Structure 1
Amino acid sequence: MSFKEWCDSRAWPLKEESWRALFWQLLWGIWLRRNAWVFNQTRIEVQDVIERDVRGSLEYRYAQECMRMGGRTEKGSKSWQRPPRGRCKVNVDAAVCDNGQIGCGGVVREATGDVLVACCGKMEGDYEADVAEALAARFVLKLVWEAGIRHIIMESDCLKLVAHLKNAKVETTSFGNLVSDLLVLVSSFSSVSFSHVCRDWNKVAHNLVQLSRSFTETRVWIEEVPREVQTFVSSDLCLVE
């Protein structure tokens, strides 16, 4: 069942505690809207705030139900895990920036934990978070393919993206179109699987995304990472020793 079908089947029957959570989420959205105007003179429509926060609340409940039912994806790993020998793990992440751009980042590591490829870059456009995550995954996987790496495990902290890719679920939305593109792209790899990881254990990719703000063009590092990210690479290795 898709996210839209799940919402339609319930006609938004939020329980009392869900309404309270949505209320506070909307207040936070209004506060961010105020700050965007005060500090950046950026006008955000009230309807956009409401739609984003309501959708975020529903997606959160959808993800919770997926995990309870155990039919979509496993619970996110509690730490970065080495891939099996002969395969590489590709961690990807994205961030929506305030200036109408998204940041993308990714890192490829083999079973020893050594970094094969790291990359970051930016794209123009005002996208929702799930679309940004799918764009980032496509951005990174294209570079992985160009690097000649063919056996991969793609790992993301976006539960929705991982669930759709694992179940080859395609919808008639911008996000769905990107999922379709990704499924075509990964079909060219020799082997591929998808895994969800908790956000706290996707820090290498996350910090590469943050680093993208410092550059005007795509940056790629072969068999190394920028010094700003090395600490997080070492931390992952220490925790799995």
Structure 2
Amino acid sequence: MDPTCCRCKLVEETDLHALILCPTVKLIWECFGVDVDDEWSGVHNMEEWARLVVKRSDQTEASKKFILLWAIWNERNHVLHGGEPNNPSTIVDNALKYLESFAGLMREKKGNHGGCIAATNQWSPPPEGSWKVNVDAAIFNEKGCGMGVVIRDHEGSVGKARVKQVRAQWEVNITEAKAAFLGLQMARQMGIESVILESDSLVLVTLLKTRKVENSNLGNVVQGILRLSEEFGSCAFSFVKRNGNKAAHSMAHYSPLDYSTRIWVASCPELIADIVSADFMSSFS
């Protein structure tokens, strides 16, 4: 891969250049109100940058800078894969809107209001008549990535399970989103009308709940999920901690690594079956 920066095409890209020093990135920070040459002169790497931000900023301001950093990295990947560059002010606005949406959902969770992102630590069965689609991603670095899906009814019985492993090296958030899309596709093919899509990716669930669609590779997949969700009579999005998503997690990491799609109907591999049984039993505790 060409090490030259994909945006300015002037120098070899480093993390510091990609996120702070690239002339195109400086314009983004300028829209945010930061003169990079003035505020962060003398910074040699991203660890120094992070320490400086934490030292000089209050919690709110630091959160904004870190979320903008994430948006800049997404923009870099968007351009790297052939996308048209977004306007700097649009990148800043979208990042701050996402942060506000996320903060609002976290306030709801803290206040235990209805419709919030649940912070459950174990799997729970869906209501009778509904199915729960648990999804997860696995990153195998240079070997590729995997997507796991386990679909269960209100009695904890598996309707379908699936693992898809590919050689593509997607970012974790994109792989999580692709796993979610795969899970909804399976549910639709089963003729399910009422579904709960559950993931341990808070980033993904927040984007889906707020219907946040960005002009990026991740945004394209999120948009596909939202469109597919409209084909169901009822489709809800649920966040669960990793401990409550073990079945899908194990499916995504299913070995041996085989670049193919493997599907189980009304069953699942023995290892996952043990997790499914434990999940259902723990739901009564």
TM above 0.5, one fold? yes
> Is contact 2:199-2:238 (8 Å) kept?
yes
CA gap of 1:151–1:15, structure 2 versus 1, over 3 A, is same
Partner of 1:178: 221
Shift of 1:123: 2.6
Shift of 1:176: 0.7
> Is contact 1:120-1:212 (8 Å) kept?
no
Partner of 2:193: 150
The alignment status of 1:70 with 2:108, answered yes or no, reads yes
The 5 A counterparts of 1:41-80 are 65=103, 68-70=106-108, 73-80=116-123
One of 135, 141, 144 as aligned partner of 2:184: 141
CA distances 1:133-190 after superposition (whole Å, capped 9, x unpaired): 0011112221221122221000000011111111111011111111111111111112
Partner of 1:224: 267
The alignment status of 1:99 with 2:99, answered yes or no, reads no
TM-score by length of 1: 0.72
Shift of 1:213: 4.6
Shift of 1:216: 3.2
CA gap of 1:14–1:75, structure 2 versus 1, over 3 A, is farther
The 5 A counterparts of 1:1-241 are 14-16=53-55, 65=103, 68-70=106-108, 73-211=116-254, 213-241=256-284
Distance 1:66 1:110 in 2: 31
Q: Which amino acid aligns with 1:130?
A: N
Instruction: Determine helix, strand or coil for the equivalent of 1:237.
Output: helix
> Is contact 2:193-2:232 (8 Å) kept?
yes
CA gap of 1:73–1:181, structure 2 versus 1, over 3 A, is same
Q: Which amino acid aligns with 1:15?
A: V
Q: Which amino acid aligns with 1:201?
A: G
Distance 2:33 2:251 in 1: 39
More relative contact order, 1 or 2 (CA 8 Å, 6+ apart): 1
Q: Which amino acid aligns with 1:118?
A: A
Which structure 1 residue ranges, 5 or more long, are not aligned?
19-50, 53-57
TM-score by length of 2: 0.62
Shift of 1:74: 1.9
Structure 1 vs Structure 2: percent identity of aligned residues?
A: 32
Q: How many aligned residue pairs are there?
A: 199
> Is contact 1:73-1:163 (8 Å) kept?
no
Instruction: Determine helix, strand or coil for the equivalent of 2:251.
Output: helix
Shift of 1:15: 2.7
Distance 2:56 2:152 in 1: 42
Distance 1:127 1:17 in 2: 34
Distance 2:217 2:228 in 1: 17
Instruction: Determine helix, strand or coil for the equivalent of 2:160.
Output: strand
Shift of 1:110: 0.6
Which structure 2 residue ranges, 5 or more long, are not aligned?
1-27, 35-49, 58-72, 75-94, 110-114
- Rg (Cα) greater in structure: 2
Distance 2:281 2:247 in 1: 14
CA gap of 1:73–1:172, structure 2 versus 1, over 3 A, is farther
Shift of 1:195: 0.4
Instruction: Determine helix, strand or coil for the equivalent of 1:215.
Output: coil
Distance 1:207 1:86 in 2: 26
Instruction: Determine helix, strand or coil for the equivalent of 2:142.
Output: coil
